[in-house]
Amino acid sequence: MLKETAWKWIDENQEELIKVADDVWDYAEYGLLEEKSSKRIAETLRKHGFRVTHGVAGMPTAITAEWGSGKPVIGFMGEYDALPGISNEAKPKLAPIKDKAFGHGCGHNIHGTTAMSAAIATRYALGKNGQRATIRFYGTPAEENYQGKIFMVAAGLFDDVDACLSHHPGSFNVASLSSSTATIHAKFNYYGKTAHAAANPEQGRSALDAVELMNIGVNYLREHIIEKARIHYVIEAGGGQPNVVPDYARSWYYVRAPEIDQLEHIYNRVVKIAEGATLMTETKLEIEMDRGSYNKIPNKVLSQVVTANMREVGAPKYTKEELEFASEIAKTFPKDNKLESLRKSKIPNYEKYTDVDLVTDILDPWDDGEVSPGSTDVSHVSWKTPSMEFSTACNILGAPGHSWQFVAASGSSIGHKSLLFAAKTMTGSAIDLITDPKLIEHAKEEHKRRMRDNKYIPDTERRPPLELAKQTAEKLSQKA
């Protein structure tokens, strides 16, 4: 009965919910600067009776919104940041929007609105029945660039949560059980001495030489690290002009590994190589290190709850026009890329999806024990409380993430259907957790087992880089 009440509310209010998602899609704001998007979501939650706090954890665009009281406390996480360089009309062709620098190439206009919609629908269902619980929405900025959830976790905002749900638009309908890589981010600042590169080179000490020698050393290290680890970098600063020995240079590294303890070992070796470069060049080194992302802790109990609710709701059915839209987008990328992506996903019987553009199957997770090569700040929440970020089909199967194709889909009626399906799934899952306390108990027991003896260490010293976000957004906007 509670689920039917919630799902009916979503059906009756779908125009309002879709309008929020479309507005956020249109705003398309860079991480930490999602002023219009966060305000739109916050105002909608306030309108529906939530106690809203806007600007938490040192981020003006971060939100907590709460309804109800007592236990359990169920969290709904929503993102709304956009990506640079991929603005596009909601059309199945490359059609950049003039003077628009950013686009929702990861579907975060849907992500944030799903959590908002589910929180509101759950609130109305519980309110009608008098069921006791606390519903808490988290508006989490800057997942793509500055990992806003890290600051929210460090601020203690998830300390009392019993379980947390999140939805990410994707290519499949599945409550995945894969983990993700842990990451350390570090900037290596080298300081040398300037000199005329032709007349007095012996007096110079090249910071750029140090950066390049470090990079060579790290490239040799790659042969001697575990297979699933990754190291990648860019040179952010390398000098002014060739006839001046650079006295400053900087490289920026990501080091990734499946587990935190594996990561520390590899990163320490990278640091030794960086220090070795200073000996070879007689330069000085300063390292700016942050811990990036933890590896994600999956939860099978929550996956089963979400999967059951997906099937209870039923996957969307697509119109002829929507299928044609998807087919047109599928023509914009090589079919071989799609097949390779399917192989890499290790989905059983992947061949059956060779000619599928929009997936309507609801899949059992096949990836428990697998490690996704990417990283996410959802992982930090998963170390604090049982968490599940599931996906529903929105992106055209085979289209790359962070692409204009994803922007087009997330602003179309295909994206709207992903939103409504996910919102119903999320609210149904929350109601199951609230009305059956044993589910939360089992989820917490599993969480404890998967955590083993590991403990989360919050980064309380780090602060959201608000000025850097503004400066970066300005530079990116100039390129639009």
CATH architecture group of domain 2-180+295-451: 3-Layer(aba) Sandwich (3.40)
Q: Measured in whole angstroms, how far is the alpha carbon of residue 6 from the centre of its chain?
A: 27
Smallest Cα–Cα separation from 170: which of 107, 258, 94?
Answer: 107
- Tell me what pLDDT residue 480 has: 61
Q: What is the pLDDT of residues 179-211, one digit of tens each?
A: 999 999 899 999 999 999 999 999 999 999 999
**Both structure tokens of 328:** 């047109």
Q: pLDDT of 95-150, one tens digit each?
A: 999 989 999 999 999 999 999 999 999 999 999 888 899 999 999 999 998 899 99
Q: pLDDT-based confidence at 375, cuts 50/70/90?
A: confident
SS (H, E, C) 31-58: CCCCHHHHHHHHHHHHHCCCEEEECCCC
State how far the Cα of 152 lies from the Cα of 38, in Å rounded to an integer.
15
Q: What is the Cα–Cα distance from 20 to 40, expressed in whole angstroms?
A: 7
Average pLDDT, the chain: 95
pTM of the model: 0.91
Which residues does residue 189 pair with via DSSP β-bridges, in sequence order?
A: 250, 286
Residue ranges per structural domain of the chain: 2-180+295-451, 182-292
Going 196 to 197 to 198 to 201, the CA torsion angle's sign is positive
Over residues 452-475, the pLDDT tens digits come to: 888 888 888 889 999 989 998 998
Distance separating alpha carbons of residues 135 and 65, to the nearest angstrom? 8
Which secondary structure element, helix H or strand E, spans residue 371, and what is its range?
A: strand 371-372
| Torsion angle of C-alpha atoms 136, 445, 384, 377, degrees rounded to 10 | -90
Closest CA to 393 of 178, 176, 180, 174: 174
Q: What is the CATH number of domain 182-292?
A: 3.30.70.360
Q: What is the DSSP string of 211-275?
A: HHHHHHHHHHHGGGS-TT-EEEEEEEE--S-TTB--SEEEEEEEEEESSHHHHHHHHHHHHHHHH
pLDDT tens digit sequence for 211-248 = 999 999 999 999 999 998 999 999 999 999 999 999 99
Residues 432, 309: Cα–Cα separation, whole Å:
9
Distance of alpha carbon 57 from the chain centroid: 18
